[in-house]
Chain A
Amino acid sequence: MHKSLKWSVIPLTFLFILAACNNTPGESPAMSSEPSASQLAEDPSAACAVLEGGCFEVPAGEPLTVASALAISGDVAFLGNDTNFGIQVAQEERGQVLGRDVEVLHEDAGCGDAASGQTAAESIVANTAILGVMGTTCSRTAVTAMPVLANAGLVMVSPSNTAPGLTNPDHEQYGGPNYFRTAYNDKVQGAAVAKYACEVLGVTSAATVHDGSPYAEQLQQVFVDDFAEFCGGTATSQNAIGVGDTDFHAVLTTIGAEAPDMIFMPIFDPEGPLMVVQSRDVPALADTIFFGADGVKDAGFIAAAGTIAEDIGMYFSGPDLSFGSRYTDDFLPALLEIEGTTEPLAPYHAHGYDAYNILMDAIVAAWVGDDADGTSYFAKNLIVEHFATLTDYDGLTGTLTCNGGDCGSEEVSIAQLQGGVYTEVYTTRSAS
């Protein structure tokens, strides 16, 4: 009996995979179709018993629960909060899936301390109702969170991790097959900065500053490599600072002695604005171009060092937010109403919106069926599979295709502060 059941489940498994692969690409969230009855197992419990990885079970009357694991406290809470608000907009649009309410639990994965990613992940896996995770804000917390989440069969999709190592199987910080992101890979951002430095700014030497985090360290390395490749640019030095440091006169004086044309500093607040403010005290850096990345391209930086950054003509790289009318007419007003501001807090809100919707689609695709008492079953592997095979998804941030964990749009924007507002001066969208 048991043996015959096992054989009957094999074709069903193929059916589930086919269902996942055939999920109509490019569907907008509102148009997502739910699987037909023919795609579902008559005995989902038995089907799940033989599926590799098994299933999540959601009892009758319970909501579909997912978690966000973002930085909602600490110095970069504005990044995590901004993303959470984007998720909230998506949830308000699509608060019911498969006839159940969707509940988003918010864990604080922090940013400055890598261990906080692991702590958040452990808290998430302790709650067996959670079907998937949106997070983390910072790459360093993803590194420690992923092993815990993957071990529980959970998928994590990050709206703002950009460190290249997370999706590189040969890298020690590889996030594994359950890791995806709707943000771009910093190989794209580093290349865009290098290209702009070579072709537009015409610089030939640059120093970099990072804070030891996977994001900052890997992004500045991508820049250094591409800077050398694109135009033979020289890295005068690759400097590191400590998170929490407040006095950067010594490192700035050392850099000034090398007289680089440009300083690329993909770090965060509050170190980023502090460094820009103190750069005025070092005469040797008077003509040096300062270039920050998406870690400082936020409202907090403008408040702390915006005037000086504007005076010195500082550049900022980050995701291209020219997402079209759907973003500006529908999404942005809803986001700003929630945030209570006139400008978004940070750049990764739309990526949070896409992460939520893709995760919901994955849950729909992984639905095995309901048993007699109304318990729903969701195949863990099919949630992963949905992400891994995502092709030409019509997201808010662009047309997304997942390639080895990288699902994000690859468009980068470069901006300067003009009149206290980040104003785009270059985008890879127009350059390509």
Chain B
Amino acid sequence: MRRPFRFSTLGIIQTVIALAIVVGVTVSAIHTINGGLLSPDDWRDLFVYGISQGSLYALIALGYTLVYGVLLMINFAHGDVYMFGAFTGFFVGDYLASSEFLDTNPIVALVVMLAAGAVTSLVVAVLLERIAYRPLRRAPRLVPLITAIGASLFISNTARGFYGDGVKAYPHFEMLEGRIDLLGIPVLKGHALVIASAVILMAVLWWFVNRTRTGRAMRAVSEDKDTASLMGIDVDRIISITFAVGGALAGAAGVLYAIVYNQVIWSMGFIPGIKAFTAAVLGGIGNIFGAMLGGLMLGILESVAPVLLLQGWGVPSPNQLRDAIAFTVLVLVLIFRPYGLLGRPEGK
């Protein structure tokens, strides 16, 4: 026997909010587009910029989501792991540039820089887990969270002590000047590099997690550590590998970021770290595809939404409100799907 359809008060409120949002967004977008300030090419460029930025967020967000998957903790020091990778890329790239190797073999130099950044961040992430988090494995969940914040401050200020306060210019790649045609869309070469690298790295991660024994062990630990241990899995080793994988992705993202934006600074990990965490939550923390989707969504929202939603109404400096818009979307997503876009409720 079918249950009769019933309206709940919460359901009605959610439906009304959702309709109001859809109407508001549609009207605002039409208003802005009709205003004609930006050309179709401008909108396309904003969209591509958003995908590029979102790809970086996604690569960093994967580290958050992998660690959360196995430990149920937020590693707030992950943004600083990313920063260390960028700085390693800087020193390696600076050396390669001064020896003119970068000019004569730019592709090899790029790969070397990416590898160096990834390996350094991998080492930092593994050391972080071993020194700061492993002793707290059985502690209440708040304890490693606070430790992560402390570790973040420690790592960023260590970098400040080593590398100084000022910004440092990243080695310049002539081959990344200008635009390249991708599917008929002219994309900045630097952004194309970021997007292509992110796709490749995420594909490798998917293969690693789903097609290798270690990946299966990671998923088993993520499901249930005690049962995985009974099945002969070395849980500590798998957790270390998880940190290593997340760290390597963050290190690569750091180098890519610095190549595109041409500079590094000791404080560069904080804001992208927060954004990537947001992306991971938006997509459903603990879910690899969720982190990818959340990163891309956040990047596109930041790039397109402020102008699309606010410019038409004459709101001054709409781009200053991009974080407000992005986080409003996050809150709305969590209202309707508390476990994120692709996440699943705990226990299911």
Task: Point out residues on A near B: beta carbons under 8 Å.
Answer: 73-75, 77-78, 81, 212, 237-242, 244-247, 249-251, 253-254, 256-258, 269-270, 273-274, 277-278, 281-282, 284, 299-301, 303-307
Contacts and interface: CB of A to CB of B under 8 A. Distances in A.
Contact of B262 (A242, A258, A269, A277): A277
Contacts of B160: 73
B37 A247 contact: no
A249 B317 contact: no
6 contacts: A238-B317, A244-B270, A250-B46, A254-B307, A273-B167, A284-B42
B167 A269 contact: yes
Interface of B: 37-39, 42, 45-46, 49-50, 53, 160, 165-169, 172, 188, 257, 261-263, 265, 267-268, 270-272, 302-304, 306-307, 311, 316-320, 322-323
Given A242-B323, A250-B50, 8 more contacts: A73-B165, A212-B320, A240-B319, A247-B49, A254-B37, A254-B38, A257-B42, A304-B263
A239 B38 CA distance: 16
B306 A75 contact: no
Residue among A250, A251, A304 facing the most chain B CB atoms (10 A cut-off): A250
A74 B268 CA distance: 11
Contacts of A303: 166-169
A74 B267 contact: yes
Nearest to A246: B261
B38 to A, nearest CB: 5
Contacts of B311: 254
Given A239-B317, A246-B272, A277 B37 contact: no
A269 B304 CA distance: 25
Nearest to B160: A73
B53 A247 contact: yes
Give the 9 A-B CB pairs with smallest separation, nearest first. Answer: A240-B320, A300-B166, A240-B317, A77-B165, A249-B49, A251-B319, A304-B167, A304-B263, A244-B271
A239 B319 contact: yes
Contacts of B318: 254
Contacts of B262: 273-274, 277, 304-305
Contact of A300 (B167, B272, B302): B167
A273 B270 contact: no
A238 B315 CA distance: 11
A284 B41 CA distance: 11
A359 to B, nearest CB: 26
Contacts of A273: 167, 262-263
Nearest to B270: A244
Nearest to A276: B262
A270 B165 contact: no
Nearest to B166: A300
A274 B261 contact: yes
A422 B335 CA distance: 53
Nearest to A249: B49
Contacts of B42: 253, 256-257, 284
Contacts of B37: 254, 257-258
A75 B165 contact: yes
A239 B46 contact: no
Contact of B319 (A250, A282, A307): A250
A67 B5 CA distance: 72
B165 A78 contact: yes
Residue among A277, A301, A306, A307 facing the most chain B CB atoms (10 A cut-off): A277
Nearest to B177: A280
Contacts of A277: 261-263
A305 B271 contact: no
Contact of B303 (A250, A282, A304): A250
A250 B49 contact: yes
Contact of A269 (B50, B166, B306, B319): B166
B165 A74 contact: yes
